[in-house]
Amino acid sequence: MLDHPESGAARAGAADRYAWPDEGLAWVTEPRRHAPGLDSFMSHVHRLGAEQIMFTTWQPASFRLYGENHKISRPPLDEKEAALIVNHLYGADGMARLQGGKDLNVMYVIGVSRTTTLRFRVNVSGTVTSRGDGANVTIRPVKDLPPPLEKQNVEAGILSSFQMKKGLMIVSGATGSGKSTLIGGMTLAKLVDPASHRNIIEFAEPIEFLFDRVKSPTSAINQSEIPRNIQSFDLALAGAMRRQPTDIIVGECRKPEHMQAVIHAAISGHAAATTLHAENVALTMQRVASLLPAEQFKEAMISCAQSLRLVINQRLVKRPDGKWTPLREFLVFEKKFRDKLASAAADDWPHLTMEALERDGQSYEKAIAIALEEGRIDEETAADVRRELE
């Protein structure tokens, strides 16, 4: 059974709806070889469509679905169970690395059949509790393929701009806002388009969607994980330049070297795409400037400004039926505006972008109005989003 923060019939209904049938199984019996409870639970919530699974020392296991947390009723994880889970997901030295102050990132795969697998993006961090040191394992189920763009409510202005032949596209938003899903949908659209003729290379840490089983009539894609397949983004980009790609996707930009790599890809005549964390388009530009390498700041700033073609910021909000729907603000960077950014100070980028967004792009206020008209959100949700944007 599941413990859900509701009462009466609503709580019982949620428990029945999400009940895990194998609750009595041991989480892990032999690390890296056999984890009957762990695999069963992760498979179960993957099928439910959960956004996140959480294991924390001295707490019950739980999952997050449509923005609500659901805890299972079996006892909290003890130290031994938590260590077995960490070592199974990562490797025999998982807990040792964690105790050395390192967080862990890995993809975990469950084979359902000879042709079907379930994939999970795993992050493990050390924690401190009243009983001593512990571990937090946060797991994000990854769908086999992203939904096609026609099922992601993608605006016409984005659809007419994302297939550029060169330049940089950035998709920003909070963790879990669907950034990778949107870029994945764009990648899928390029692969299935018979007129596309793309050679796509993707580098990420880790890779989320695997496209090798997509039968593309004219395009190809190769995907590599950093550092599993290639040691660094710099080495990956250097190798990519010898492979004649049309498109280069650099996973999430978290460090200056990531931003430097994606800008280099964009100014080298490729269509480049990446994601980063920011709350709106203007703050995305502020975040970009903060990631430019200090030792070559002015040169990098000009290169970045001249390479930008499209910036999208996305957030997921509740539909009236309780499921998610995307809201987006976005700006297409025309040449006149790119030139203006290149000659401006980086500190001026956010407010210049905000002015351009109101004039030429789609602000969140416009996105809210469209979603209300389409019936994808109600007035209460619209008011909540407006308060968040203040």
Dump pLDDT digits (tens) for 253-307: 888 888 988 998 899 999 999 999 999 999 999 999 999 988 889 999 999 999 9
CATH code of the domain covering residue 84: 3.30.450.90
Q: How many domains does the chain have?
A: 2
Q: What is the pLDDT of residues 109-153, one digit of tens each?
A: 999 888 788 999 999 999 999 998 999 999 999 888 999 999 999
Residues 231 and 358 in one domain: yes
Could you tell me which residues come within 8 angstroms of residue 8 by beta carbon, excluding any fewer than 6 positions away? none
Tell me: do 154 and 280 sit in the same domain: yes
Q: Are 185 and 333 part of one and the same domain?
A: yes
Render pLDDT for 145-197 as a digit per residue (tens, 0 to 9): 999 999 999 999 999 999 999 999 999 999 889 999 999 999 999 999 999 99
Phi and psi for 215 in degrees, rounded to 5? -85, 100
Q: Could you say which of 91, 125, 142 is where a domain stops? A: 142
Which CATH number is 281's domain given?
3.40.50.300
Q: Are residues 179 and 72 in the same domain?
A: no
Give the HSE-up count for residue 375: Cα atoms under 13 Å, Cβ half-sphere: 1
Residues 326 and 227 in one domain: yes
> According to the model, what pLDDT value does residue 7 have?
44
Q: Is the pLDDT of residue 11 over 70?
A: no
Tokens of 102: 């390192």
Residue 238 banded pLDDT, cuts 50, 70, 90 = confident
Q: Say if residue 132 is in the same domain as residue 167.
A: no
- Of 116, 142, 168, the one marking the end of a domain is 142
Does 170 lie in the same domain as 126? no
Which among 142, 159, 178 is the end of a domain? 142
Q: Say yes or no: 245 and 365 in one domain.
A: yes
C-alpha distances in angstroms, 368 versus 327, 376, 377?
7, 9, 8
Residues 313 and 383 in one domain: yes
Q: Do 296 and 189 have their domain in common?
A: yes
- Sign of the Cα torsion 263, 266, 267, 268 reads positive
- Give the structural domain span for 156: 149-389
Kindly list the strands in the beta sheet with 271-276, ordered across the sheet, starting from the edge strand earlier in the chain: 220-225, 199-204, 247-252, 271-276, 167-172, 308-318, 324-332
User: Residue 89 and residue 82: Cα distance in Å, rounded?
Assistant: 11
- 136 and 211 together in one domain: no
Cis peptide before 141 (omega within 30 of 0): no
- Tokens for 296, please give them: 């070559």
- One domain for residues 240 and 379: yes
d(CA 135, CA 332): 43
Between 38-42, 71-75, 199-203, 280-284, the lowest mean confidence (pLDDT) is in 71-75
Q: Is the pLDDT of residue 5 over 60?
A: no
- Which residue, among 52, 55, 80, 57, has the nearest Cα to 68 in the 3D structure? 52
Taking a C-beta distance cutoff of 8 angstroms, is the pair 287, 278 a contact?
yes
Q: What is the spatial distance between Cα 125 and Cα 103, in angstroms, rounded to a whole number?
A: 5
